Structure 1
Amino acid sequence: MTAVEQPCYTLINLPTDSEPYNEMQLKQDLEKGEIKQKVEALKKIIHMILAGERLPPGFLMLIIRYVLPLQDHLAKKLLLIFWEIVPKTTQDGKLLQEMILVCDAYRKDLQHPNEFLRGSTLRFLCKLKEPELLEPLMPSIRSCLEHRHSYVRRNAVLAIFTIYRNFEFLIPDAPELISTYLEGEHDMSCKRNAFLMLLHADQDRALSYLANCLDQVNTFGDILQLVIVELIYKVCHSNPAERSRFIRCIYNLLNSSSPAVRYEAAGTLVTLSNAPTAIKAAASCYIELIIKESDNNVKLIVLDRLIALKEHPSHERVLQDLVMDILRVLSSPDLEVRKKNVKFSFGFEHEDTGKYRQLLVRTLHTCSIKFPDIAATVIPVLVEFLSDTNELAATDVLVFVREAIQKFDNLQPLIIEKLLECFRDIKSVKVHRAALWILGEYATEVNDIESVLKEINSALGEGPLLEAEQRKDKEVKRPPLRQYLMDGDFFIGAALASTLTKLALRYAKLNEHLKANRFDAEIMLIMAGIIHLGKSGLPTKPITNDDKDHILFCLRVISDRSPTIIEVFVQLCRNALNDMLIAKEIEEASTQKAKEKAGNLIQTDDPINFMQLESDRSGELGENVFEMSLNQAVIGGRGQGQDSNTGVNKLNKVTQLTGFSDPVYAEAYVHVNQYDIVLDVLIVNQTNDTLQNCTLELATLGDLKLVEKPQPVVLAPRDFCNIKANVKVASTENGIIFGNIVYDVTGAASDRNVVVLNDIHIDIMDYIVPASCNDSEFMRMWAEFEWENKVTVNTPITDLAEYLKHLIKSTNMKCLTPEKALSGQCGFMAANMYAKSIFGEDALANLSIEKPFNKPDAPVAGHIRIRAKSQGMALSLGDKINMTQKGLHNSKVTAG
């Protein structure tokens, strides 16, 4: 709970009908009705105000006359809501005359013998923003501090705090009053509220009170102890000289009976002291919390604190003595707790931790863009991820920062400041490049530009670069940007040149000529130094011609100052980012709209479930009788040449298993659920004999598994039955179901009869859905996935875009390449595609196709490279593409 507790009124059920209110009836209920009628009339009036309707003339006085004097508790609660939402001033801002009567009524409620009415009224007063109403109530509010019941006293403290914060002139002695009250109070909830007020309103008085009762802190309740920890943390960080005064109190709170207090005290102790005894005491407290707490979430959170302690170089030696105690956490039954504990104890990181951090970053990204008010709070937290060893999470942070700094102008100074703070701690060259781009694009003020250049010089080290490296030992530790260059990565040098050029062009417009020339000379020296270092032979790899040409181009831009090129550097780069963000929003909106539309789509053959028609077989709920009848009607109608849309989707999934001349005819309707396949097999006895022990025997090929063996049945002459079989699916690959039907003939002396069934091929497309990912994720997965299947394009299609549409439709993959990049007329096309299976398997595809300009009727040629983590996924997707291409050829031959 924060310093000012918000009033929590009991939820009142208000009328929800849509009929207009009868004002005359409401007026009669207020004037002549019983208490119940008056309460209901008040409910309706509250509902009118909440719905935005104007209060009828004279109703305010009616409520004052006929409802305000009521002593009914429900009426009192409703009135608190009413006075909170009703307009209290005229159009010119003056207080309504009727509110004087209301003020007198609440003065009486503040003196009411019932403690609930007093406390509720005090909570209501926290919402009032009119000092004219509060001023006459101040003596009564003060008197509530001496009430016998703690509920009234603690709400009186909150009311005084709120009034003091909003209208200090009404109670200027509030800190002194609450300080005196705190010394004589014994209830912990009241003391907590009073101490919390002093913490925010008069910190010196709070410290004075704490100093007088330091020896008694262990006897306080946990809610007061938590506030004391908060005060000590704030005071010791703002005034380090106070640490020695209060650190003993923090040590004592490590033994509190409340786990929350111990946790906060341990965290505060670590921030106040780096002494080994303090670190050991805090770590021991954390370990005890992990072992004793039953909630796995608490265990994981506290383990994170221990991991953060270990990352500090001076703390690791202290924690080594506690390893055996830490290993006791392995007795926890939760797998995640054991994994995190092992990671802490042995120093390795679980493979999914990085993905989890990445997911957190993306979630915060989405929330911040959707609710801009929280972006200022989230950005400092997220920027800390830039120094994370997980490059994916750090890259996602920069994607978020880039979007936030473009969309929210008010956050640009904050983002620049935080990026500069963590710039030297970044561990990835890719993240450094992206950070340089943001700093070069959005550092537009003189102070920001100078700070960016200072940080770049710090990350490059002393210069000139070549001379400095010739003097240094090869094993010496270098600043990050220079280390990248010495490793042969001069692309970061080209990115740095672009950033410096943007800074120089903006700096020249903001300063006088001499100062701008000095700035230009400094950054030109940096760029020339990078080129000399790249050509010297000292780095692992020399600078590439592309990177050298780009740096030389930037040098020429600074020296020539061409207006056209200046516009490219200063304006068009940011415009391109804005266009990209707009295109991304449009794509996300269209995707969401398509999902919503698909979610509301109802097929014509979808069955209607009638609960009355549900059959009950042996106490278990069976299939819908109506749906069974519909299926049989559809199956029966196929031989009569019906061409209705009803049942078309189901007819497409019917597979004929035997021939029409076989003694037993069978066909199966294949229904694919998310993780299993239901085979509804129709078996028809086409003989005049009774078939005994007629059994459907099935087997599977691929990653399929038959759940249970179908039971034998007896078929009378010319009879039929339906047998259902469930097949579980474990992965995405082409599967085959095969088998036979065996039976005995009544009275026959021969062996069992067998009818072999046709194979049922499971379509991989039933388990693949389109998915989205960004370019960095696509490239990461492309590099990680070990299985590749290269499919040659063999199609009669002559248009590049048409072939791409055909491929997307036949593979259920989503094209990740923007539509603008695919538009236009040219002789080649390259596109990336991505899909996921319902089992979480990823499938990537790269389409590279071409068509000669001088042969308009020539078919598209090229290759499709498929990459997946599993062999079955890669092979099955390739087989599907080949099958669809073969189908296109067959259809063209048939048409010809």
Structure 2
Amino acid sequence: MSNPSYTLVYDPNSATTKTSVNEFKNLLEKGKDDAKIEAMKRILITIINGDPMPDLLMHIIRFIMPSKNKELKKLLYFYWEVCPKLAEDGKLRQEMILVCNAIQRDLKHPNEFIRGNTLRFLGKLKEAELLETLVPNVRQCLTHRHAYVRKNAVFALHSIYKVSEHLVPDVADEIYGFLYNETDSVCKRNAFVCLGDLNREAALQYIQDNIQIIDTLDPLLQLAFIEFIRKDSVKNTNLRPQYTTLISELIESSSNIVVYEAATTLTVLSNNSQSILLAGSKFVELANKETDNNVKIITLERINELNKQHPGVLQELSLEVLRVLSSQDLDVRKKALAVTLQFVTSRNVEDVVKLLKKELQATSTSDEDKSSEYRQTLINAIHQLAIKFVEVAANVVDLLLESMKELNTSAAYEVITFVKEVVEKFPDLRPNIIKGLIATLPDSKSGKVLRGALWIIGEYCLEESLIQDAWKYIRNGVGEVPILASEKRAVEPKSTEAEADSDDTKTHKKGPVVLPDGTYATENAFTAESTSPEESEDKPAIRKLILSGDFYLAAVLCSTLVKLILRLQRLDVAQKLLNGLKAEALLTMVSILRVGESKYVAKKIDEDSADRIFSYIKYLNDEKDAEVIQRGFLDDTKDAFKSQVRESELKKAEEVAKDLHANAEQVDEAILFRQFDKNGGIATKNLDDEVNGLSTSDIKKDLVSSKLSKIIQLTGFSDPVYAEAFLTVHQYDVVLDVLLVNQTTTTLRNVSVEFATLGDLKVVDKPATADIAPHGFYKVQCTIKVTSADTGVIFGNIVYDGVHSDESTIVIFNDVHIDILDYIKPATCTESAFRKMWNEFEWENKITIKSEMGSLKEYLEELMRGTNMNCLTPGAAVGEECQFLSANLYSKSSFGEDALANLCIEQSQGQIIGHVRIRSKGQGLALSLGDKVATISRKRKKVEITHV
């Protein structure tokens, strides 16, 4: 085996020219200290890259070892680590005697830093012959006055014992005595770590002797105790009860690090509910005390994992977790809410809702972007609680409806979405919720919120009294009808006044006004009174929005009027009342159409809205198909919403079941042994795996067949060097395992593999050069850093020396393309989050589609497979009922980049035509996904063979 190196020196310029041994000797012999430092760095890099250069050893001993330059001395010890210490016969080289003498002098050096640095180097030496003469000096360093020397001397003795036990046979007793006499906390910690590895009984005895004062010990020593207990409990399970008691005392430490480690260890040592609750309470305490947001998120994640492993035990901590909401970081708040929702039961749901109400009211006065996002998160949390626990649904809805006027548009729309789901799921609460909604709507000014509210009114006003209340609100919201005539009357008096003023200006010359002090009078544009009718009059909300051009709201309003009248027909109300309301509804619809074509609106009515309103007028006057119209307006739309709610519930149930299945362990499941994993063996999990959150499902098998399918051929079979690569894609990097085969009958010398990249890729390291024997094999590895989910290309070549020294041969590699699908994963998000990102993202890539696939749904499925995107549109909306299909798709990259897509296609004359719009924050992701979509569109329908 080759000697391992322990310290690496990074080469920032891998393309530098090679330096020969003679040149290095000249630099070491005649150069100044700066030149020697650069030469030593180049020597270290060359040795690490595979060229040992044994001829330099004597020159370095002669010209570098006597130097007193501190940087040179540091580089010298790096050199002792990696330089060849053994001759070809396997014995220690004669020159190492001089090195050993120099190390002895440094171990007696009056400077404590040099002594400590030398002792650290001894921990990396593996040659027993060298270490044998240094043991007495290391023992003397145990009594040095400076703690820096003593703490490194302990580790040096431990390392020497690991290399050869006969060199220091009594090291355990010596460290045990040192531990009792030592006063420095770092030295005691190092000594106990070594003692725990050398003599378990002595370490247990030391813990026993200090058990009375364990809570007053230094945190470093307490952490060493915890580490020892965690390892020892794996082999000695009979001591777990005693260890649990000891960790329960350590968990009360004043150090947050000790508390975290003790709580983590306690959850593994014991499954007792009291121990789990104690550990959970300490995690919550850390989340509240620590100022670092990363620590808060880590501890909250630990609490979440504990709840998954021990459901129901941590329920009483829900209010304590919500104290973390006092943090200003939005990610911490979201994490705290997500963890708390897992703890909530029917016993504590009211207390949690009360606290969330206070938080919502406290943030309702702030207009910051973060506050609005936090409000939306709070509303979503309250929404989930109301859906899960029916006993708080009524109170929650009332609270949200009351606070809706103080929320911004997006948060208020979230409330309306929430109310939709509640009135569908809880029929008993519908009358009260509808009354509260109608009462709060006059304060709403947003068209988006009013559209959702009008839809709820049209679908769920099932009683005559509720319909009358809703009609009064709509009548007040629209104002005086006909709208066009009332708007004319409002404008005409002002126009006559304007004409009178213009007549006055003909007789009186208008000019600047001179004040008594001789200066001109000025008027500020911001303080001048506006004479526009929109600003001078306080119009109702719906009327103002219609006049401003929101005809989508007008169409929804007309649809609601039709639903209310059809509902009254189904309730068999008096014909006289029904006729009056129908006439009023028709007048309102016609009025909207007429004002939409007039000059009194900000923009003319669009064709779609006008067609919808015309169709509603037709439906109200159609008596032949009354039953079909009633069924379409009153039943079909409600059934569609029911199916949408049902499908979302099924998705949530599937996610919960999937999560449960991923964390559950079957009784008959095999236990994997990592050591025998490749041979299909079986083994047990150790305690460190449990502490780190690893399970047997995390240990994946690399099948040979799967590796063979990922091999990429880099050169041809007829090239002098055949090369192939196995590509391994990790989260943030790509590893290329390249196999080189010498296909010639001569030795190829100085074979070098060079890679370069195109795109957001960066070559991290350069493979070492090597000599390959005839028909020999050589394997190199190269790591490439990936910084974004963009299409990248890796290209390179092989260079090796020819027959003459000045000749070289180059073999070009085939290009390796990095597939962005390795970094893009399907993801889900809410409709509001999708729309928000769609409006914010700058880059859009629109791809026209012309495909010959059989059906629209088949194309959607192929698009999802080919782009790794998830369809957010409910399944009922992407069925095969018509010749059109529209769907939203979403995915997320490993680097946190969001990718949105909107698919709009139709089937015409046997072809699928339409377009896909892709949006992302950066240009690269949008273009790369666009190429994938274009490739999918070019796929042809499979030809069916009817006969041969």
Task: Give the alignment's TM-score, normalised by structure 2.
Answer: 0.47
Higher RCO, 1 or 2 (CA under 8 Å, sep at least 6)?
A: 2
